[in-house]
Amino acid sequence: MSQKVAVLGTGKIGEALLSGMIRAGWAPADLLVTARRPERAEELRARYGVTPVTNPEAAKTADTLILTVKPQDMGTLLDELAPHLPADRLVISGAAGIPTSFFEERLATGTPVVRVMTNTPALVDEAMSVISAGSHATAGHLAHAEEIFGAVGKTLRVPESQQDACTALSGSGPAYFFYLVEAMTDAGILLGLPRDKAHDLIVQSAIGAAVMLRDSGEHPVKLRENVTSPAGTTINAIRELENHGVRAALIAALEAARDRSRELASGKKD
């Protein structure tokens, strides 16, 4: 943890990562940040005791650079970093849809690059971060990325060829659950419940179900069957979900998200 780590383009996810790293034992003096606005950088200094720097300064000083800018801004950032970045520095990309080859072609030959897809539950230390190695990244580089992102949740190594699927399933995943809660809340209102009570019922049910899935070791089918009595309320609801093609719609939705991730990787923006 004595190595210098720089977070470039420190927005909400970057700040969540900083906060988690400090709680996990990183010294604020070893953490550098860059931000588009000077006042944002000063805000981070005041809040966490980290050191604001410019992007070129981060490239020259940090042992590990975590790039958290938006995908459309990544090319410009790499152009700024490349003249100052030695080939022995680890570059970690958090940009959706951009392959490690994009970085390797623009940085010094041999630069190790690790690609990470995390998600917004990093804000509450419950992220799912999926990690893949570029051509020059070693097992040690992957372990270092796991140490960093493990500060805000769980990590999983996958081949880079599976990153688009992981983006569809996990990177975008929280939005699907929020959408489901929104729809179930509307249903609760239709059934006569006040919005706040419907919301509380659904959120706690979601938390309980998630903990059971994580901790029980049971298959979700088994857990669902435990709630589903013969000729009861749950099986009638499940029948309607199947009649309306909810399972097929979810599969189609995730395929669409995966395909969009591939389009972004190929440079297609619209």
| pLDDT of res. 262 | 84
pLDDT at 58: 97
Res 8: pLDDT? 97
Q: How far is CA 122 from CA 13, 92, 155, 214, in A?
A: 7, 16, 11, 17
pLDDT of residue 1: 47
Of the candidates 82, 131, 130, the one whose C-alpha atom is nearest the C-alpha of residue 102 is 82
The label of the residue with tokens 């958290």 reads 68
Task: Return per-residue pLDDT of the chain as tens, 270 residues.
Answer: 468 999 999 999 999 999 999 999 999 999 999 999 999 999 999 999 999 999 999 999 999 999 999 888 999 999 999 999 999 999 999 988 899 999 999 999 999 999 999 999 999 999 999 999 999 999 999 999 999 999 999 999 999 999 999 999 999 999 999 999 999 999 999 999 999 999 999 999 999 999 999 999 999 999 999 999 999 999 999 999 999 999 999 999 999 999 998 887 776 666
Which residues have a Cβ under 8 Å from the Cβ of 58 and sit 6 or more positions away? 6, 8, 32, 34, 65, 81
Candidates 95, 150, 147; CA nearest to 125 is: 150
Judge contact between 91 and 63, C-beta under 8 A: no
Provide the pLDDT for residue 97. Answer: 85
